[in-house]
């Protein structure tokens, strides 16, 4: 393993931000087997940590940020390889294609079952161990947890959806990971913002949201998938666009504040 698997910024509020696809690091032993297109890492959740950093600090949130690329292993997939969207086109636990269906690996150099299992232990497990530990810590301190999974994706990807993706894509696993009243409060912010939105549309929340969300035990989990066009350039070198980001951040912060308000009013014991 090269470097630490994640960064943990621990806050004291009940808000926990997970950033599983922010990482860009790829071990040399893997990178040398990738196609040139894959080495550019176009499917990264670019700048997602930068986008949320200031508001996370202001709201005293705990933030867990992955260091390694989703091409090494996808931290938001079931470790047993179970599809999140049966019948739809999805990527694997250890992806072998880019989002545009191009090859990720040079011919014959894809990971085998043994290598995938090793990557699970080295990269996937530590990230989920720290998430579980922080959820337990926050729950012990506050009596409830507000887990917000931060994601972004290119706004046009025919492989996964038709047309242009809404800016704000809220996912709760069709209602299993968060209270309906909390989801309604978040959707109200989205619907009154300058941005388009969808609730449990193409992106319903990945493994993290569905696995850790447990409203009956006061663990509320929500995924936010952002259309990257609204805060960055979607073409290489995938630059952060401060003016667009600054315009989007108040809406995102208001959503995070809505989570905190809900926790104080409905969940605090």
The answer to whether the bond into 237 is cis (omega within 30° of 0) is: yes
Mean pLDDT of 96-105: 96
Q: Is 228 exposed, middle or buried (0-12, 13-18, 19+ CB in 10 A)?
A: buried
Angstrom distance (rounded) from CA 261 to CA 269:
14
Taking residues 221-240, report their average pLDDT: 97
Nearest to 56 by CA among 148, 179, 178: 148
What does the pLDDT average to over 179-208? 96
Dist. CA 150–CA 225, nearest whole Å: 7
| Mean pLDDT score across all residues of the chain | 94
Res 149: pLDDT: 98
pLDDT reported for residue 91: 66
SS3 category, 34: strand
pLDDT at 3 over 80: no
Query: Which residue has 């079931």 as its token pair?
Result: 78
Top CATH class of 6-262 equals: alpha beta
**pLDDT at residue 267, as a whole number:** 77
**For the chain, percent of residues with pLDDT exceeding 70:** 94
pLDDT at position 268, please? 72
Q: Identify the pLDDT of residue 88.
A: 52
Q: Model's pTM, two decimal places? A: 0.94
pLDDT band per the 50, 70, 90 thresholds, residue 85? very low
92: pLDDT strictly greater than 70: yes
What pLDDT is stored for residue 236 in this prediction?
94
pLDDT tens digits for range 49-75? 999 999 999 999 999 999 999 999 999
* Interatomic CA distance for residues 226 and 148, integer angstroms: 13
Assigned token pair, 167: 């800016």
Extents of the domains making up the chain: 6-262
Q: pLDDT (tens digit, 9 = 90+) per residue, 133-164?
A: 999 999 999 999 999 999 999 999 999 999 99
Q: 3-class secondary structure for 172-202? A: CCCCCCCCHHHHHHHHHHHHCCCCCEEECCC
pLDDT of residue 52: 98
Structure tokens at 126: 């530590």
């Amino acid at each position: 393993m090269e470097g630490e698997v994640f960064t943990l910024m621990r806050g004291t509020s009940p808000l926990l931000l997970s950033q599983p696809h922010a990482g860009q690091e790829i071990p040399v032993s893997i990178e040398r087997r990738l196609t040139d297109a894959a080495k550019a890492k176009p499917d990264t959740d670019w700048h997602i940590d930068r986008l949320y950093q200031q508001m996370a600090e202001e709201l005293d949130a705990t933030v867990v940020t992955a260091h390694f690329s989703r091409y090494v292993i996808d931290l938001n997939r079931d470790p047993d390889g179970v599809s999140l969207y049966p019948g739809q086109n999805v990527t694997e636990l250890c992806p072998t294609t880019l989002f545009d269906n191009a090859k990720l690996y040079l011919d014959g150099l894809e990971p085998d079952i043994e290598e995938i299992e090793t990557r699970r232990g080295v990269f996937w497990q530590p990230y989920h161990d720290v998430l579980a530990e922080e959820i337990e810590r926050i729950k012990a301190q506050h009596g409830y947890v507000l887990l917000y999974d931060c994601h972004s994706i290119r706004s046009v990807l025919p492989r996964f959806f038709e047309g242009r993706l809404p800016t704000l894509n809220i996912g709760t696993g069709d209602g299993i990971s968060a209270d309906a009243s909390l989801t309604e409060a978040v959707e109200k912010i989205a619907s009154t913002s300058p941005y388009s939105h969808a609730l449990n549309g193409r992106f319903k929340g990945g493994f993290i949201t569905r696995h850790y969300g447990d409203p009956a035990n006061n663990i509320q989990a929500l995924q936010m998938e952002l259309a990257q066009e609204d805060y960055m350039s979607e073409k290489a070198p995938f630059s952060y666009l401060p003016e667009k980001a600054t315009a989007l951040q108040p809406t995102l912060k208001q959503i995070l504040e809505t989570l905190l308000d809900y926790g104080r009013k409905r969940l605090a014991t």
